Amino acid sequence: MYWLLGMTFFLGAVSFRDDRLGLPTVVRFAAHGIAAIGVVGGTGLQLDQLTLPFLKSLSLGWLAIPITVLFLIWMTNLYNFMDGMDGFAGGMTVMGFGFLSILAWIGGHYLMALLSLMIAGAAGGFLIHNFPPAKIFMGDVGSVPLGFLAGSLSLWGVKEGMFDIWAPALVFSPFIVDATVTLLRRTVQGKKVWQAHREHYYQRLVLAGWGHRKAVLAEYGLMLACGASAIFYIYLGELGRLALLCTWALIYSLLALGLRKVERQSKGVG
């Protein structure tokens, strides 16, 4: 707990300085790496194996530590990447940590449940003023520590046996899927992935004419559905879990195709 909070405050301090004065990319990434290594080394939190329903669990062995560190760094950064629309990251924080609190409560880990609920409650107060049109903004000092906490608390729940990694992955999948697919697509296209852009799915939805309010409300609906599915997931058997994960893979594929249709219509293309 102390290591987790300490590394979170460390990231908050670095991110605050970045917001105020600006920091080189290498310094920011170094801070993210230090925080991830600090938590993994100080608490023993690590993803020892990958589990898929009906398939044999894959032991990560000596790769467990580097994969866990990379997972935390990615969660830290993707939250920052997705903080580009009024009310979006704030809403994900309220619902994401709210559902994480429920998962922890069901698993009997009341400390984690309380911590997650406190984060969700604080974000709720922020969201009142951040909902479009926003009057205040999260900045890196908000998004970076929140992404780090989302990854760390997810690993904590897995380590305590409350759920496997797919439950929190479902909860935060509106951010994880968008950021990961966008990064992979830009990498394949040979673009500089570290540069600012407007190619995330939520940004493309706004550019297609939906506007911030309509787009963020649609994303809220997706977040609620994903969170409810995560609660449902932990009560299912192996076959049900596999079916649920495959269903969400299909849903996200259909949503991507639907976005392309919206973009074509906005350009007057049939």
- pLDDT (mean) for 53-63: 81
Q: What is the pLDDT of residue 34?
A: 96
pLDDT at 270 over 70: no
Look at residue 12 and tell me whether its pLDDT is greater than 80.
Answer: yes
26 Cβ contact partners less than 8 Å away, ≥ 6 residues apart:
none
Instruction: Say what the pTM is.
Output: 0.94
List pLDDT tens digits, range 206-247: 999 898 999 999 999 999 999 999 999 999 999 999 999 999
CB atoms within 10 A of CB 37: 17
What Rg do the C-alpha atoms of the chain give, in angstroms?
18
Cβ pair 201, 259 in contact under 8 A: yes
**How does residue 55 score in pLDDT terms, banded at 50, 70 and 90?**
confident
Nearest Cα neighbor of 211 from 124, 121, 88 is 88
Show me where the domains of the chain are located: 2-266
Residue 269 has pLDDT above 70, yes or no: no
Contacts of 222 (CB under 8 A, 6+ apart): 174, 255
Band (268; pLDDT cuts 50, 70, 90): confident
Q: What is the pLDDT of residues 146-202, one digit of tens each?
A: 999 999 999 999 999 999 999 999 999 999 999 999 999 999 888 877 777 888 999
pLDDT digits (tens, 9 = 90+) for 87-128: 999 999 999 999 999 999 999 999 999 999 999 999 999 999
